[in-house]
């Protein structure tokens, strides 16, 4: 019994140490964002939160169009998320619950697309979008990502278990067509799965860097991540301001995550187990 207790304590010590390592960079970000740059560069460095946070945040707003970038990022993230939720769940519903000629072949093709790294298509994708005249516009951020294989695969696994065949039969008897069945039977049952896919997609688009770096060429229309890097590049010496910008960019997402994160983590793990 005693060794059991010792082991529990050791376990918590290990875990708490890990928590400190996980959280420390955020604390350090706050320390740098709330002190003046000369204070950060002093030796020994200041390790506590200072009083210049709002002043540094103000500098960020003076130097980049922070809220403009945030708005673009928000529109892109929401746009992709809404489209992905609709297209992916609709496809998943069909794949999971209906027999149709070529279904398994189509699903096999879909799975095969997992193998293609996004960077492989980067150059020709850019060329294609340039042909369309989409470079620099929100369309370039939203449309190519509007449906994805991961989401369909994941929602299909979810739909298989979550939607009882009887419900679909009942809807059929009532004379509902396929889309009616999707709306009345599929969507309500799939809601928890949609919540996960929605948060997952939103976070990914919000944090994406390489794609917006390539397609958002207009300096007045940058996403948050690219604008942040510009701040870092041009004013690299004003660390306090750069960190204030970084802090402002991570707070909204972390807030959303802490509120809705519990189920999300369980679903991430469940998703991995299904592969």
Partner 1 sequence: MSANTPDGPPNRFRQAMPQYAAVSPFFILFAIFGAFPVLFSIWLSLHSWDGIGQLKWVGLEQYSYLLTDPSFWKSITNTLLIWVISTVPMLLLALVIANALHNATRFRSFYRIAYFIPNITSVVAVTMVFGSIFSNNFGLLNAFLQSIGLDKIEWLSQPWGIKIAIASIVAWRWTGYNAIIFLAGLQAISSDIYEAAKVDGASSRQMFWRITVPLLRPVILFTAVTSTIGGLQIFTESQVLFGSSGAIGGPGDGGLTIVSYLYDSAFGKNQFGYGAAIGWALFILIVLFSVINWRLIGGGDDDRITSRVRRRANRKIAAEKAAADSQTAGKEHADAH
Q: Which of 246, 237, 253 is nearest to 36 (CA)?
A: 237
Interface stretch with partner 1, choices 38-46, 64-72, 74-82, 163-171 (CB under 8 A): 38-46
Name 168's Cβ contacts closer than 8 Å, sequence gap at least 6: 97, 181, 185
User: Does residue 242 contact residue 229 with C-beta atoms inside 8 Å?
Assistant: no
Q: Which of 186, 193, 169, 180 is nearest to 95 (CA)?
A: 186
Binding mask 253-272 for partner 1 (x = CB under 8 A): xx--xx--xx--xx-xxx-x
Name 71's Cβ contacts closer than 8 Å, sequence gap at least 6: none
Binding mask 165-204 for partner 1 (x = CB under 8 A): ------------xxx--x--------------------x-
Buried b (16+ CB within 10 A) or exposed e, 96-111: bbeeeeeeeeebeebe
Residue 128 as a binder of partner 1 (CB under 8 A): the answer is: yes
Q: How far is the CB of 62 from partner 1 (least distance, A)?
A: 19
Q: How far is the CB of 274 from partner 1 (least distance, A)?
A: 10
Residue 101 as a binder of partner 1 (CB under 8 A): the answer is: yes
Q: How far is CA 96 from CA 102, 173, 179, 226, in A?
A: 13, 20, 14, 39
Interface stretch with partner 1, choices 25-33, 49-57, 62-70, 160-168 (CB under 8 A): 25-33
Chosen residue from 163, 205, 241, 242 binding partner 1 by CB under 8 A: 242
Tell how far CA 264 is from the center of its chain. Answer: 12
Chosen residue from 64, 69, 85, 94 binding partner 1 by CB under 8 A: 94
Chosen residue from 81, 201, 225, 238 binding partner 1 by CB under 8 A: 225
Name 218's Cβ contacts closer than 8 Å, sequence gap at least 6: 136
Chosen residue from 25, 108, 188, 192 binding partner 1 by CB under 8 A: 25
If binding means CB under 8 A, how many residues of this protein chain bind partner 1? Answer: 97
Q: How far is CA 44 from CA 17, 38, 40, in A?
A: 24, 12, 9
Q: How far is the CB of 22 from partner 1 (least distance, A)?
A: 5
Chosen residue from 54, 67, 123, 169 binding partner 1 by CB under 8 A: 123
Residue 238 as a binder of partner 1 (CB under 8 A): the answer is: no
Q: Which of 172, 158, 160, 161 is nearest to 85 (CA)?
A: 158
Interface stretch with partner 1, choices 55-63, 98-106, 160-168, 188-196 (CB under 8 A): 98-106
Residue 6 as a binder of partner 1 (CB under 8 A): the answer is: no
CB closer to partner 1, 71 vs 254:
254
d(Cα 70, Cα 52) in Å, to the nearest integer? 23
| Binding positions for partner 1, 40-69, rule CB under 8 A | 40-41, 43-45
């Amino acid at each position: 019994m005693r060794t059991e207790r010792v082991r529990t304590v050791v376990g918590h010590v290990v875990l708490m140490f890990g928590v400190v390592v996980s959280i420390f960079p955020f604390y350090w970000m706050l320390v740098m964002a709330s002190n003046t740059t000369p204070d950060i560069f002093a030796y020994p460095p200041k390790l506590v939160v200072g009083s210049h946070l709002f002043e540094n945040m103000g500098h960020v707003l003076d130097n980049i169009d922070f809220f403009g970038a945030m708005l673009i990022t928000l529109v892109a993230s929401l746009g992709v998320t809404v489209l992905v939720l609709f297209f992916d769940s609709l496809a998943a519903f069909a794949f999971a619950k209906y027999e149709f000629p070529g279904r398994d072949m189509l699903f096999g093709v879909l799975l095969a697309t997992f193998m293609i790294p996004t960077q492989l298509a980067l150059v020709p994708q850019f060329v294609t979008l340039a042909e369309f005249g989409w470079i620099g516009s929100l369309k370039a951020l939203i449309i190519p990502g509007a449906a994805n294989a991961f989401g369909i695969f994941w929602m299909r696994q979810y739909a298989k278990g979550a939607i009882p065949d009887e419900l679909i039969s009942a809807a059929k008897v009532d004379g509902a067509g396929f889309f009616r069945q999707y709306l009345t039977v599929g969507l309500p049952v799939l809601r928890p799965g949609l919540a996960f896919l929605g948060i997952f997609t939103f976070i990914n688009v919000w944090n994406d860097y390489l794609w917006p770096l390539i397609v958002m060429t207009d300096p007045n229309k940058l996403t948050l991540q690219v604008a942040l890097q510009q701040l870092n590049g041009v004013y690299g010496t004003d660390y306090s301001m750069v960190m204030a910008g970084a802090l402002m960019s991570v707070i909204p997402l972390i807030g959303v995550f802490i509120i809705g994160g519990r189920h999300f983590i369980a679903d991430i793990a469940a998703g991995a187990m299904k592969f």
